Amino acid sequence: MSTAAQISSDIKSVELADLGKKRIEWANQSMKVLQIIRKEFIKNQPLKGIRPVYAIKGEDNDTYYNHILAAIDHKPHITMDDGADLVTLLHTKRTDGLESVIGGTEETTTGVIRLRAMAKEGVLKFPIVAVNDADTKHLFDNRYGTGQSTIDGIIRATNFLLAGSKFVVAGYGWCGRGLASRARGAGAEVIVTEVDPTKALEAVMDGFRVMSMSEAAKLGDVFCTVTGNKSVLTKDHFEHMKDGAIISNSGHFNVEIDIPALEKMSSSKRTTRNFVDEYSLRDGRKINLLGEGRLINLAAAEGHPASVMDMSFADQALSVEYMVKNYKTLEKTVYKVPDELDKRVAKLKLESMGIKIDRLSPEQEEYLAGWSEGT
């Protein structure tokens, strides 16, 4: 483990460079929108002089935070966060880093919730664009990206046959919708749990069984939480689960499943496969926890497919460009991605897929904008 002071670069293994380069090349083939934006940025240089990224796969908590500290040591102009940990550190232990920051962007739902809370309390020290809230981000990345990659992570970790199984999805937000539809596509009987009545109703009308987690706990073969909340699966649920139940999380952090409670209820624990910890409960039942309760699509699979991240990263790139152009006039709060940027990303994606759509005629535009023409 390296400390912040030691880190000017952190390389897990130089031998991995060639493999890494090939992976980047592979992903790049599916990232047509970013290719267009890169060409534009090379020509126009909108981020000239703007500073930093630190991460390695499999970093422990200390290394993760040391990487964030190292990023702050660079005196960044723009923060590009995924969960708001960097911004939180800049507002607590490392306020010295605030001096150079002109603004930031945030990638995920949980981060945006945290930042909105900071803005509401009036403590946010620079403007942030909530990339997560762009239509071209959450409608695609959270739904189709998390949906597919979470199934991929669960299957890679367990080799479990989804067809004919009972698959419980906790949370029917963007991630939950994608996950439920992909699990159904693989032949599972999908059960949804929710706390929001409208989302629950939507899940019912989308054709899923909806019930409380207390009920679902007794039925499920596989469970996956995607709520962004804590303690969604608890002792009360573990007590009623079937022998051999598989539990996993693809929401944020490892707090959606109450792992300390599971530890307490267990007489022993062993790792049976990569990313599978088998907990033996005192009554003889076994519960399999995947990826230590961390995001299973990142732990056991490869995260989202590059083609969907193409749009999320395009939103990031254009939002950073927007921030550099506009930070002087923005307030210290959380902003939506401007509509024209969002629509531009969707348009470029369609173009890259060779798909043409219709355009409003001037007559239609007038009709939609007006009120004088009757029905």
Ligand X SMILES: NC(=O)c1ccc[n+]([C@@H]2O[C@H](COP(=O)([O-])OP(=O)(O)OC[C@H]3O[C@@H](n4cnc5c(N)ncnc54)[C@H](O)[C@@H]3O)[C@@H](O)[C@H]2O)c1
Q: Of the candidates 251, 285, 293, 313, which one interacts with ligand X according to CB under 6 A?
A: 251
Toward ligand X, which CB reaches closer, 70 or 140?
A: 140
Asked if 132 contacts 109 with a C-beta cutoff of 8 angstroms, the reply is yes
Using the contact rule CB under 6 A, the part of the chain among 67-75, 244-252, 314-322, 332-340 near ligand X is 244-252
Does 226 interact with ligand X (rule: CB under 6 A)?
yes
What tokens appear for 350 in the block?
């369609």
Packed helices 146-158 and 174-185: angle between N→C axes, nearest 10 degrees: 50
Element (H, E) at 33: helix 32-44
Q: Of the candidates 237, 252, 285, 344, which one interacts with ligand X according to CB under 6 A?
A: 252
What is the x/- site pattern for ligand X, positions 270-299, by CB under 6 A? -------------------------x-x--
> Least distance in Å: CB of 159 to ligand X?
21
Asked if 143 contacts 136 with a C-beta cutoff of 8 angstroms, the reply is no
Handedness of CA 189, 192, 197, 203 (dihedral sign): negative
Question: What one-character DSSP code corresponds to residue 206?
Answer: T
Q: Which residue type, as a one-letter code, is found at position 293?
A: G
Nearest 5°: the CA angle 153, 198, 217 is 45
Beta carbons within 10 angstroms of residue 309's beta carbon: 20
Does 229 interact with ligand X (rule: CB under 6 A)?
yes
Using the contact rule CB under 6 A, the part of the chain among 189-197, 269-277, 314-322, 345-353 near ligand X is 189-197
For residues 86 and 54, what is the distance between their CA atoms, to the nearest angstrom?
A: 11
Does 320 interact with ligand X (rule: CB under 6 A)?
no
> Least distance in Å: CB of 251 to ligand X?
4
What is the x/- site pattern for ligand X, positions 92-111, by CB under 6 A? ----------------xxx-
What is the x/- site pattern for ligand X, positions 22-61, by CB under 6 A? ----------------------------------------
Which residue is closest to ligand X by CB?
Answer: 173
For residues 274 and 87, what is the distance between their CA atoms, to the nearest angstrom?
A: 33
Residues 195-224 that bind ligand X (CB under 6 A): 195-196, 199
Q: Of the candidates 118, 232, 246, 262, which one interacts with ligand X according to CB under 6 A?
A: 232
Toward ligand X, which CB reaches closer, 35 or 254?
A: 254
The strand pairing partners of 247, in sequence order, are 223, 289
Tell which residue, 310, 336, 343, 342, has the closest CA to residue 112: 336
Asked if 323 contacts 50 with a C-beta cutoff of 8 angstroms, the reply is no
Asked if 34 contacts 310 with a C-beta cutoff of 8 angstroms, the reply is yes
Asked if 185 contacts 165 with a C-beta cutoff of 8 angstroms, the reply is no
> Least distance in Å: CB of 107 to ligand X?
8
> Least distance in Å: CB of 201 to ligand X?
12
Residues of this chain that interact with ligand X (CB under 6 A) are 108-110, 138, 142, 146, 170-176, 193-196, 199, 226-229, 232, 250-252, 295, 297
